[in-house]
Structure 1
Amino acid sequence: MVEPTRLSLNTATVRERWTLRQCIEGCVRHGIGGIAPWRDMLAACGVDEATRLIAGHGLTVTGLCRGGMFPAETAEGRRQAIDDNLRAIDEAAAIGAKCLVLVVGSLPQGSRDIAGARAQVRDGIAAVLDHARAARVPLAIEPLHPMYAGDRSCVNTMAEANALCEELGEGVGIALDVYHVWWDSDLSAQITRAGRNRLLAFHVCDWLVPTRDLLLDRGMMGDGVIDIPAIRAQVEAIGYDGFVEVEIFSHDRWWREDPDLVLGTMVERARTCV
């Protein structure tokens, strides 16, 4: 059972119907203790106004989504990605985010060199790491399901994320999203390998069978096949006591619902299915 005070709303869950201000107010109505804004919604609200609203309502910012997308065809493209990540770090620091979530990117257009993409990811994170450390913003690498290896992320397992963290050192950790890693037979060992200090965020939703869209058909907790309580038990066994962040991309189901119904369902499912 997870009480709503320990829940965090990733704003992607209701992004089609609510602004960031409405997300903040919705969290307060439903007793949800945390929020994780996406940068486009943050920009629309304004960083200063968002900071005021979040602090004024006593919410914890569990993360800012997202940085990353480091690989590019050209040196100029890679420089632009680094500049954007530096801005994202500053935004995360301004709103008091516990981490900046990195969806690291993958093959540049026309490339088949995934090893080269992974090298660009490593170099890109290294290029912004000193700035992140100075700003006290941990960088949370989010391993994505292998179905995204060609476009969104060439870091697809907890093992790969752990290896990057060990190579890059202090200030880099992991955002574990059950949607992306639930299938991994090595998951439990890799959670233990990460340890409490490296596990920066814990995201939940569910994997539907069948899944009609690989990006936009995630399920509400309890509607799919992921054993979420078992994974939560594993992360808590290593000492994780942070927020449980709900992030659901659902074009044909939850994005069409009244957001208050969505948040109410989140709260109920967190108590019974997480």
Structure 2
Amino acid sequence: MSPLSRFSINQMTVRQLSLPELANACGHRGVPAVGLWREPVREYGVEAAAKLVRDAGLTVTTLCRGGFFTAVDPAERRRALDDNRTAIDEAATLGTDTLVLVSGGLPAGDKDLPGARERIADALAELGPYAQERGVRLAIEPLHPMYASDRCVVSTLGQALDLAERFPAEQVGVCVDTYHIWWDDHAPAQIARAGAGGRLHTFQLADWTTPLPEGVLTGRGQLGDGAIDLAYWWRLVDAAGYSGSVEVELFNSGLWAREDGAEVLRETAESFAAVAAEATAAT
């Protein structure tokens, strides 16, 4: 089996590559799958992007992102729901069965975390059946607690599963991203819980390096450069029954500043292969 057989490169890791450049670089490097982002896909054209990746023989593992469900204002909430229905339609067109959700932070002036999480549940109740009809699953991604105020009030896998388990697994599950959950000593048990319930919809790798950059959003380290035992988490998700693609999603301004995105892809593929070898050698 190729060391890259489960490798999916998230488009954001090599954001300097256009979609045609990404497809070409993946073909040259033997990368079988990609995770796509809505903004560049919409700029290129959803139907055109679907044809491009299909013709390149690439599997689309996920579409990022839906979510941002925490607004209090009714008009804002309607706009968010409409946008998420569009995102579900885009995922279906692209041929992926997984839309990753970043649930949203606290609205300005609001300090009610439980209330914000309840509004996420309300949105999922509306969107879950719509997604299932189109063959798309919603994957709640818990983000590190440092993002709770402005980006995502769902901070742990336990919180994500508490929301997801209100709905059928065919509608709502979770995204496990090492960058966001590696610090949580309850996360291994929650991964097993997600696997037992058929809710491990996607698995993403990124490393944790310090110091974090200003704004913290672009601090995800290249695999192997940081503090996370990535092979350990890989083994955990596999033990929980996950056998799908492993997506590398790096928000990293240093990587983005490099002109040669194909070289970044090569480096990331090599780092991935090293993690894959370590993860599988221990099983």
Under a length normalisation based on structure 1, what TM-score does the superposition of the two structures give? 0.96
Does residue 185 of the first structure (1) align with residue 185 of the second (2)?
yes
Which runs of structure 2 are paired with 1:87-98 in the superposition (5 Å)?
87-98=86-97
- The residue aligned with 2:247 is 245
- The residue aligned with 1:120 is 119
Distance 2:240 2:247 in 1: 18
Distance 2:24 2:125 in 1: 37
Does residue 143 of the first structure (1) align with residue 145 of the second (2)?
no
- The residue aligned with 1:104 is 103
CA contact (8 A) 1:10 1:36 kept: yes
Q: Secondary structure at the match of 1:245?
A: strand
Spell out, residue by residue over 1:47-106, the C-alpha distance to the aligned partner (whole angstroms, 9 max, x if none). 111111111111111000000001113101001000000000000000111200000102
Distance 1:146 1:159 in 2: 13
Does residue 12 of the first structure (1) align with residue 8 of the second (2)?
no
- The residue aligned with 1:194 is 194
Under a length normalisation based on structure 2, what TM-score does the superposition of the two structures give? 0.93
Runs of 4+ in 1 over 4 A off after TM superposition: none
- The residue aligned with 2:280 is none
Distance 1:271 1:19 in 2: 24
Which runs of structure 2 are paired with 1:1-274 in the superposition (5 Å)?
3-15=3-15, 17-170=16-169, 171-195=171-195, 197-213=198-214, 214-251=216-253, 253-257=254-258, 258-274=260-276
Distance 1:104 1:20 in 2: 26
The sequence identity of aligned pairs, in percent, is 43
Q: Secondary structure at the match of 1:4?
A: coil
Q: Extract unaligned runs of 5+ from structure 1.
A: none
Q: Extract unaligned runs of 5+ from structure 2.
A: 277-283
Return 206-215 or 123-132, whichever deviates more: 206-215
CA contact (8 A) 1:218 1:249 kept: yes
Quote how far apart the aligned CAs of 1:142 are.
Answer: 0.4
CA contact (8 A) 1:20 1:37 kept: no
Quote how far apart the aligned CAs of 1:2 are.
Answer: 7.5
Amino acid aligned to 2:92: A
